[in-house]
Structures are given as C-alpha cells and as structure tokens.
C-alpha cells in the first residue's frame, strides 16, 4: 500500500533518468570530438587541462546551440549542462582539488562556461567577435598568440559543425544521437 503512494513519482524519476542518459550520450560525443589531436597539433590549442576544457566547452556549446532550436529539448539541454558540470567536478577532484574548495571552483567553472556560451552565441552573427572570443577562450593566454589562419580555421570548423548538427534529425538529437563531422586540416 505504501509503495502505491510513490507510484506517480516513479515515472517522473524514470523520465529524468532517461533524459540524463541521453545527455550523457551527447556529452560523450562532444568529449570524443574535443579529443581530436588536430585541435592541439595543427591549430594551436594548448594540450593541457585548460585547453581540453575549452574544446569540450566549444563542442557542448555547439550542441546546446542546436538544442536551443528545439522547444522540446529544454530539459535535455539542461541535463547536458548538468552532465558537463558533474564531469568537471569529477575532473577537478582527480586533479587533487580538495573538498573544501571544490564548490567554489565548480561555481567559477560554471560562470566561465556561461560567459563562453554567450560570447560564442554573439560570435555567430559577427565573425570578428567570434575570433575575439576564440582567441580569449579557446586559445587563452597559455597558448601564446594563435595565427590568424588557425583562428579562421576554427571559425570555419564551428560553422561546419553547426551546419552539420542543424542537418541532423531532431529525433536523433533528442534520442542522444549526434554525429560531429571530421575535423580537416
């Protein structure tokens, strides 16, 4: 009898779990694409935890931008953000960040991510703003000064990925299936 009282909530819990699983699939695709060696070898992104974070953030932004176009994807977009934050939390812990300061670090990561998402969104309409955002974020101060060719190639890459994601079916994306196109030199 007591279990029947919780029955209406179990379907909501299953739905949230299914949404999180789909978000994990999308996040895994973003991470796998962000690990492509060409970002670090040919295009000057620093092969460091910071550089890898930047590439993951860039690919998650591409997915979130596509999901924004789907009104029914708001929960999936939020779950994707939550999955990324959970992964960043775990990564910081593996780097030895103590439990005492982990909350502050995750808050800073979330604020930085939000700033990047806004800058990249603004950059879609303005190529110069996008170049500035990429230089500041994806390349950052540790990478030195990236060449204009590298920045333009990254902008072209982002536009190609955005177009490829836009061409993918909404049903596939909502199911957690996405296909990034290969990154060409």
Give the pLDDT confidence of 149-181 residue by residue, as tens digits.
889 999 999 999 999 999 999 999 999 999 998
Assign residue 147 a region (left: φ > 0; alpha: ψ between -120 and 50; beta: otherwise). Answer: beta
Average pLDDT over residues 41-50: 86
C-alpha distances (whole Å) from 116 to each of 102, 105, 113 are 21, 16, 5
**The pLDDT of residue 157:** 92
What share of the chain in percent tops pLDDT 90?
A: 48
**The pLDDT of residue 1:** 47
**The pLDDT of residue 8:** 57
Give SS3 for 178: coil
Q: What is the pTM of this model?
A: 0.87
Average pLDDT over residues 4-30: 82
DSSP 8-class letter at 59:
H
Nearest 5 degrees, angle CA 127-CA 129-CA 130? 60
**The pLDDT of residue 10:** 67
């Amino acid at each position: 009898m007591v279990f029947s009282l919780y029955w209406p909530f179990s379907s909501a819990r299953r739905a949230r779990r299914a949404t999180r699983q789909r978000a994990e699939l999308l996040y895994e695709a973003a991470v796998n694409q962000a690990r492509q060696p060409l970002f670090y070898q040919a295009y000057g992104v620093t092969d460091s935890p910071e550089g890898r974070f930047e590439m993951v953030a860039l690919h998650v932004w591409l997915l979130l931008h596509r999901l924004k176009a789907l009104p029914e994807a708001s929960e999936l977009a939020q779950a994707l953000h939550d999955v990324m934050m959970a992964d960043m939390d775990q990564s910081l812990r593996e780097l030895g960040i103590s439990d005492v300061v982990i909350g502050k670090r995750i808050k800073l990561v979330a604020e930085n991510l939000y700033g990047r998402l806004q800058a990249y969104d603004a950059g879609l309409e303005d190529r110069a703003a996008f170049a500035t955002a990429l230089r500041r974020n994806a390349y950052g101060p540790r990478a030195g000064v990236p060449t204009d060719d590298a920045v333009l190639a990254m902008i072209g890459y982002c536009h190609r990925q955005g177009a490829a994601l836009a061409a993918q079916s909404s049903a596939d994306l909502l199911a957690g299936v996405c296909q990034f196109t290969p990154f060409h030199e």
